[in-house]
Structure 1
Amino acid sequence: MPTKIFNFLKAHFKRISLLQISIAIVYLWFGGLKFFNNTSPAEEIAKDTISILTMGIIPRETTIILLAILEVGIGIFLLLDIYRKQTIIVTLGHMACTFTSLLILNEASFTYSPYAPTLLGQYIIKNLIIVAALISIYQSSRKA
């Protein structure tokens, strides 16, 4: 039985790129943190951003749980390579929403706007790497 599981996992992970696996791990890790109060460095800025974008309709404590579910779900789907193209599109939408923090919460994102990001701003800006990797994965899956 363990050999069958190992062979399945070996074959599965040969099909997906290291980029996809690494993005999945980041989503699982960072999304998982959001299930627990005050463990994610992005918790407050995420709550503030979602609150502004939804005009406060969704309670702040609910938004962070919904975000955690979304991020962990993205991580699982990427890691298991389920609905790859659709997952990438959803993930790119999520990334677009993360960048709104730079615009609507400027004071939390920059010490001197727009060229001196705070640590939180850097945390958001580094998502450009994830966006580029997602586009690369999407393009390679179109060729397959």
Structure 2
Amino acid sequence: MVSGGGTFVLGFFNSQDNPMKRYLGICYNEVVPMTVVWVAKRNNPLNDSSGLLKITDKGLLVLLNNNNNIFWSSNSSNLTQQPVALLWDSGNLIVNTNNKESEYILWQSLDYPFDTLLPGMKLGTDLTTGLNRNLTSRSSPDDPSNI
């Protein structure tokens, strides 16, 4: 998935340290070397060439492994009918309703920072939800895990 203006791309990539480690992430599009700005389940990658990202009819993003089991989920408590997933040119992957008049975001990747501060990203604890947002370093330039 490419953002509307082509700045970012969402897709699968392998660790150069270990090609069997496969991640779902957002990176700058057409920038060499690849610059990853967000990774789903970064400390526990897929260990084969499997992986399917889909949006459920209730509005959850789910990453399925080779057995069609949920490997990662956006785990939003806000569910909707007619959900859509969009990758914005800010690098934010969002899920919201297909209602064009609604700007309510059900889930967004900016709430789960990686090691790159993007415009619009908030850091610290959200006192309403308790969500703690902070940047964490990666193991190496080619391995997005932080363990």
TM-score by length of 1: 0.28
Specify which structure has the higher proportion of helix: 1
State the structure with more CA Rg.
1
Specify which structure has the higher proportion of strand: 2
Q: Comparing both chains, which one has the higher relative contact order based on Cα–Cα distances under 8 Å and sequence gaps of 6 or more?
A: 1
TM-score by length of 2: 0.27
